[in-house]
Amino acid sequence: MPHELPKAYEPGAIETRWAEYWKDEKLFHASTPHEGHVRNVFSLLLPPPNVTGRLHMGHMLNQTEMDIIIRWHRMRGDLTLWLPGTDHAGIATQMMVERQLRSEGKSRRDLGREAFIERVWCWRKQYGGAILDQMKRLGASVDWQREYFTMDENLSGAVREVFVRLYEQKLIYRGKYIVNWCPDCGTAISDLEVKHEDVPGKLYEIRYPVVGSTEFITVATTRPETMLGDTAVAVNAKDDRYTHLHGKKVVLPLMNREIPIILDELANPEFGTGAVKVTPAHDPNDFQAGLRHNLPQIDVMDERAHMNENAGPYAGLDRFAARKAVLADLEAQGFLVGTKDYTIALGKCDRSGTVVEPRLSEQWFVKIEPLAKRAIEVVEKGYIRFTPENYKQIYLNWMYNIHDWCISRQLWWGHRIPAWRCGDCKEVIVARETPAKCNKCGSSNPEQDTDVLDTWFSSALLPFTSLGWPEATRDLEVFYPTSLLITGFDILFFWVARMIMMGCWFMTPPEKPVQAGRKPESHEEALRNSVPFREVYIHALVRDAERQKMSKTKGNVLDPIEVIEKYGTDATRFTLAAMAAPGTDIAFNPSRTEGYRNFANKIWNAARFMFLNVDRLGGERTLSSAKSVDKGVAGFKAETLEDRWILSRFNGVAGYVNEALETYRFHEAANRIYDFFWGEFCDWYIELIKPRLMSEEASAKAATETACNNLVSAFEASLRLLHPVMPFITEEIWHAIYDGKPPLKSIALAAYPQSNEKQIDLKSETHMVVLQDLIVSIRNLRAELKVEPKVKVPIQIYLHELEMRSVIEQNRSSIERLANVEQISFVETSLAKLPGARHTARFDVHVVYEQKIDVVAECARLKKELEKLEKDIANAERQLSNQSYLAKAPANVIAGLRKQRQENEVLRNKTKSKIEELGCP
């Protein structure tokens, strides 16, 4: 029984079925090759979505692009690995579970650390797979057998290994440092997690009395509550205004503490009074100045940003309440000398929106400079390429100015820092395994650091840890460096830059694990092969149809799953691909998706037409198994112009599409396939072969069979061309072509079409263009002349090139059928001037057709028109000769009136001559 396609194209049913099939059959598993020859390798790491995540349009674009590239490489015969996983997302996940606890009236502290972490694991088990399930709906051809979670035991082990090695190399240190502190999240956050925003604020001027003098020094601040922690006032050594005060002290108002006047570059003589307060515990620049002058660091706030015991009478107040109280007291005591409006670049926590407080705390840091140096070198040398290219400079500029990386977070969920402090002698022990004893005093009382690592620390290692590092695995040898990374600009510094730093550090000797018996690489070779990926493609943003950024507050967020349910995954993927020009944001309009659903529908109907004919001819539908592994159109016999043409076009398009994908011009690839499949294959080729295909004459049997065979061959090859962009519908029809007995388990494993020079036939393409142009011209002329659809018209053709005459004669029946023509004659003189004719570069064509006109009715209409025109002209003339009107009316109105009159006069003359032509009474 022939396998029938259902009458209507229903993407939902097809897509779920194939998504399950691909997964169940493990079709996208890249098994590790043994020793010996390895095919071309193409490997790609999926940017691991947060385990708390839901799929959004950005993911959908990202994954569509990755899937297109991966499927294309797989079909080209590469050993292809697309490695999926999820990120434990420290702070996001912890907050999710804390919210859940709050709804039960509990907090994480009620549970305690261990029980809380247990709870997070439960949460993850229950909800953590949601985003991966959504990915399956997209058809993402990832290797599900290799799925990882960043908190898996082996990956956590690798994280500890990296930490210990960096610590031993003195590249990880613990230090007091000013960090960005979020009082709501209760943790340090990195510079990248702080969003700055200009807001109107105040600049307060406060005067500090100089000890043993009646003088004051005036300083200015936007955060007056921090003065409680001042430990100096700085002036510039070159500032003459203060020379006489060098070496003196001031009294800190409200606190009545004496603090020194220091000489430091921090004070800029050009700015304000030239004197500044120094608060080492509450400002990053002051912190550095404090180190230079050995100043005490007085922390006046606690972790919730409430004033602490160091704030004297203000202890216990929230920072903003303290600000008010401090200002009131300064004013009352005569120390507040001015208040000015001032724009403040306020830093807010990206997650909670709380104003970030610079805070002194003990944190773990990565000494970044040695790592950054290599990460700069590999990009400067082109060992990693960026697309679009401008991201290279953006990356480098950031790397040139990079600061040490604060990697500790005051959270419970995450990779706990592998450092212990001896409860007795306070020795710090950093180790791979929990130490039983202090290695200094022998005490059995070491306590583990309570902080966890920044989530980006573990994700920075993924390109090598997900392949088995620190073991010298075969996976690492075969699949590292990965070939490509596709990601968004928003994580260029968070993630991309850090992967490069970590990859280049741990995948060069001596950190790089090497299998026994391998030759050592040269220094340069080792550097080139240490990169986590050879190319980075930074994709654009998906905006709404009006080019607005999608945001919850604007309410314009499109849920990709909803779009998919409405139009199908294939159409949604195609929309994104067709708009994904490198560096250009996508204005996503679902009406386009509807258009691409129609494209799928068109292909579906064309397939049904094909099967109808195959079945009618009683032929074996099954193609020879050679076909899908062929890189072109196999078994195609080019016997007619349209055959030679479609074969040539197919090869041209295949060449173009391969080139476009090579340089991530997804939009050009998708649009070219669309134009070919719909515009050329469905609209022209299928129409042109219909008479051959449907002929019932016995003498034409061979030609009919060839036509049918050609149709199936070209269709099958076109499906392969389209497959990476629309994987589901192509899989469905492809299986139907093989009648359920395909030579391979999936079209995804078939060969991607490559251009075959020998099948390119430019002459046929030119001839077909002329033929198409002729047919379209006749159709347009018929429409202009309002020829009834049923009426066949004779045409005359004048050729500028005689060569075309035989082409037209050979294809006479096609022209007659497709343009509804009954008689074609050739003439020796140009037809360009005739009414009902069209002039082109290669031919003139004339549709011989007398418009049948009801003369009486037409004359009546023309006379009425003439009357109206004459009335309008008379009115205009009257106005234009009225001097007082001319004096008052604006010039442009008068000019408009004159122009109108002129146009009406032209129309009047035309109408008059038509009336004469018709001989109206």
**609's tokens:** 């037409």
Closest C-alpha to 769, from 883, 652, 596, 867:
652
Report the residue from 135, 220, 250, 349 that binds Zn ion according to the rule CB under 5 A.
349
Q: Which of the residues 255 through 294 are near Zn ion (CB under 5 A)? A: none
Residue 884: exposed, middle, or buried by beta-carbon count in 10 A (0-12, 13-18, 19+)?
exposed
- Cβ proximity to Zn ion: between 97 and 276 the closer is 97
Q: Which of the residues 105 through 134 are near Zn ion (CB under 5 A)? A: none
Closest C-alpha to 441, from 423, 461, 425, 462:
425
Smallest separation (angstroms) from Zn ion to the CB of 409: 11
Tokens 């075309």, residue located: 804
**Phi/psi at 873 (nearest 5 deg)?**
-65, -45
In whole angstroms, give the CA distance from residue 809 to residue 729: 39
**108's tokens:** 């994480």
Smallest separation (angstroms) from Zn ion to the CB of 293: 32
Element (H, E) at 137: helix 130-138
Taking residues 440 to 469 in sequence order and writing x for each that binds Zn ion by CB under 5 A, - otherwise, the string is xx-x--------------------------
Smallest separation (angstroms) from Zn ion to the CB of 441: 3
Smallest separation (angstroms) from Zn ion to the CB of 506: 31
667-677 in b/e form (b: 16+ CB < 10 A) is: bbbbbbbbebb
The set of residues, in sequence order, having a beta carbon less than 8 Å from that of 750 and lying 6+ positions away, is 75, 628, 629, 720, 723, 734, 744
- Cβ proximity to Zn ion: between 34 and 552 the closer is 552
Element (H, E) at 164: helix 153-168
Smallest separation (angstroms) from Zn ion to the CB of 165: 23
Element (H, E) at 577: helix 569-579
Smallest separation (angstroms) from Zn ion to the CB of 224: 24
Q: 203 has which bridge partners?
A: 340
Backbone region of residue 511 per phi and psi (left: phi > 0; alpha: psi in -120 to 50; beta: other values)? alpha
348 part of the interface to Zn ion, by CB under 5 A: no
3-state secondary structure of 235: strand
Smallest separation (angstroms) from Zn ion to the CB of 130: 24
In whole angstroms, give the CA distance from residue 251 to residue 248: 10
Interface with Zn ion by CB under 5 A: which range of 68-76, 343-351, 572-580, 772-780? 343-351
Smallest separation (angstroms) from Zn ion to the CB of 180: 9
Report the residue from 288, 352, 448, 605 that binds Zn ion according to the rule CB under 5 A.
352
- Report whether 627 contacts 716 (CB < 8 A): yes
- Count Cα atoms within 13 angstroms, Cβ side, for 706: 13
- Cβ proximity to Zn ion: between 190 and 713 the closer is 190
Beta strand spans in 111-193 (E): 148-149, 172-182, 187-189
Interface with Zn ion by CB under 5 A: which range of 131-139, 350-358, 492-500, 768-776? 350-358
351 part of the interface to Zn ion, by CB under 5 A: yes
Smallest separation (angstroms) from Zn ion to the CB of 190: 12
Q: Which of the residues 159 through 218 are near Zn ion (CB under 5 A)? A: 182, 184-185
Other beta carbons within 10 angstroms of residue 99's beta carbon come to 9
Other beta carbons within 10 angstroms of residue 186's beta carbon come to 13
**235's tokens:** 């002036």
Report the residue from 378, 438, 660, 815 that binds Zn ion according to the rule CB under 5 A.
438
Total of residues contacting Zn ion (CB under 5 A): 14
Q: Which of the residues 394 through 423 are near Zn ion (CB under 5 A)? A: 422
Report the residue from 78, 299, 303, 427 that binds Zn ion according to the rule CB under 5 A.
427
Smallest separation (angstroms) from Zn ion to the CB of 280: 24
In whole angstroms, give the CA distance from residue 276 to residue 264: 10
DSSP 233: E
Smallest separation (angstroms) from Zn ion to the CB of 430: 14
Interface with Zn ion by CB under 5 A: which range of 89-97, 344-352, 576-584, 828-836? 344-352
DSSP 598: H
- Measured CA to CA in angstroms, residue 446 lies from 410, 549, 817 at distances of 19, 51, 91
Taking residues 219 to 258 in sequence order and writing x for each that binds Zn ion by CB under 5 A, - otherwise, the string is ----------------------------------------
- Cβ proximity to Zn ion: between 51 and 422 the closer is 422
- Cβ proximity to Zn ion: between 438 and 719 the closer is 438
Interface with Zn ion by CB under 5 A: which range of 239-247, 310-318, 365-373, 433-441? 433-441
Interface with Zn ion by CB under 5 A: which range of 168-176, 218-226, 352-360, 486-494? 352-360
Q: Which of the residues 65 through 94 are near Zn ion (CB under 5 A)? A: none
- Cβ proximity to Zn ion: between 427 and 905 the closer is 427
- Cβ proximity to Zn ion: between 91 and 737 the closer is 91
Question: What is the side-by-side strand order in the sheet with 257-263?
Answer: 249-252, 257-263, 232-235, 275-278
- Cβ proximity to Zn ion: between 185 and 638 the closer is 185
Smallest separation (angstroms) from Zn ion to the CB of 187: 7
Hey, what amino acid is at 499?
M
- Cβ proximity to Zn ion: between 185 and 719 the closer is 185
425 part of the interface to Zn ion, by CB under 5 A: yes
Interface with Zn ion by CB under 5 A: which range of 322-330, 351-359, 742-750, 877-885? 351-359
- Cβ proximity to Zn ion: between 420 and 588 the closer is 420
CA dihedral 879, 885, 886, 892 (to 10 degrees): -80
Q: Which residues make up the interface to Zn ion (CB under 5 A)?
A: 182, 184-185, 349, 351-352, 422, 424-425, 427, 438, 440-441, 443
